[in-house]
Amino acid sequence: AQTVTQSQPEMSVQEAETVTLSCTYDTSENNYYLFWYKQPPSRQMILVIRQEAYKQQNATENRFSVNFQKAAKSFSLKISDSQLGDTAMYFCAFAGGTSYGKLTFGQGTILTVHP
Amino acid sequence: DSGVTQTPKHLITATGQRVTLRCSPRSGDLSVYWYQQSLDQGLQFLIQYYNGEERAKGNILERFSAQQFPDLHSELNLSSLELGDSALYFCASSVDSDSGSPRDTQYFGPGTRLTVL
């Protein structure tokens, strides 16, 4: 079974600065996908970024980028130029192998951006 | 707006009762997933349907059941409700052109907040 671990329950950052959220996972699968979802106070789950394990290049989406280290089973999210609207719970998630499309989530990291 | 709709937004009921949560996937999406988010268990996968058929099962209690109809909307039925069933229930959908491949992104609905008193 796959497991996803987010070791930082809470993080804070000043507006316009950069912050990195950590995520590690455990799997014996070779073909899988990793995701970061954002859950703002509205509780809506919003996809931030996704990474396909067979791609060596790290995914980027505007101010969001990942550092994917397959051998270390690490998948961190970097948020540059943090904005107040980035304040949310961030979940790392895994999908792959025989689990079909189901997502296995980490415990989440609460990120607070201060003005 | 993800394009996934869920009704109702909020549901308050008593222990022992039965409720039905409804989900309409994005247009064209064949797969529907149900997740439960609670304080003690976090976000957990319950069940997946693909084009009307059950595809995968997670930590879903026997008191819970789901189905996907020919028009692809899905319902999650929760019966003999207990206090511990209070949670936010999400539905997500994806294209899943390969009948269950994880490569397609899941888009989440706004959730149904269930409170069992």
Q: Which residues of A touch B103 (CB under 8 A)?
A: 33, 52
pLDDT of residue B2: 85
* B47, B90, B103, best to mutate vs chain A, most A CBs in 10 Å: B103
What integer is the mean pLDDT of A19-48?
Answer: 93
Is the CB of residue B5 less than 8 Å away from at least one CB of chain A?
no
DSSP string, chain A: --EEE---SEEEEETT--EEE--EEE-S-SSEEEEEEEE-TT---EEEEEEETT--SPPEETTEEEEEETTTTEEEEEE-S--GGG-EEEEEEEEEGGGTT--EE---EEEEEE-
Minimal C-alpha gap between A36 and chain B (Å):
11
pLDDT digits (tens, 9 = 90+) for B21-49: 999 999 989 999 999 999 888 899 999 99
Q: Confidence class of residue A31 from pLDDT cuts 50, 70 and 90?
A: confident
Peptide bond preceding B8: is omega within 30 degrees of 0, i.e. cis? yes
State whether B56 and A102 contact (CB < 8 Å).
yes
pLDDT of residue A98: 64
> Which are the contacts of A56, defined by CB distance < 8 A and separation ≥ 6?
none
Share above pLDDT 70 across residues of chain B, in percent, rounded to a whole number: 93
Distance CA A68, CA A62 (A): 17
**Cβ-contact A74, A13 below 8 angstroms:** no
Q: Confidence class of residue A99 from pLDDT cuts 50, 70 and 90?
A: low
Distance CA A83, CA A64 (A): 12
Q: Which of A9, A39, A32, A77 is nearest to B43 (CA)?
A: A39
Cβ neighbourhood burial of B76 (10 Å; 0-12, 13-18, 19+): buried
pLDDT digits (tens, 9 = 90+) for A46-93: 999 999 988 889 999 999 999 999 999 999 999 999 999 999 999 999
How many CB pairs (< 8 A) connect A and B?
68
Is the CB of residue A1 less than 8 Å away from at least one CB of chain B?
no
Q: Confidence class of residue B101 from pLDDT cuts 50, 70 and 90?
A: low
> Which are the contacts of B16, defined by CB distance < 8 A and separation ≥ 6?
B80, B81
CA A68 to chain centre: 10
* A103, A104, A105, A107, best to mutate vs chain B, most B CBs in 10 Å: A103
Q: Which residues of B touch A33 (CB under 8 A)?
A: 102-103
pLDDT digits (tens, 9 = 90+) for B45-78: 999 999 999 988 998 999 999 999 999 999 999 9
pLDDT of residue A56: 85
Distance CA B87, CA A11 (A): 25
Q: Determine the 3-state secondary structure of B103 from DSSP.
A: coil
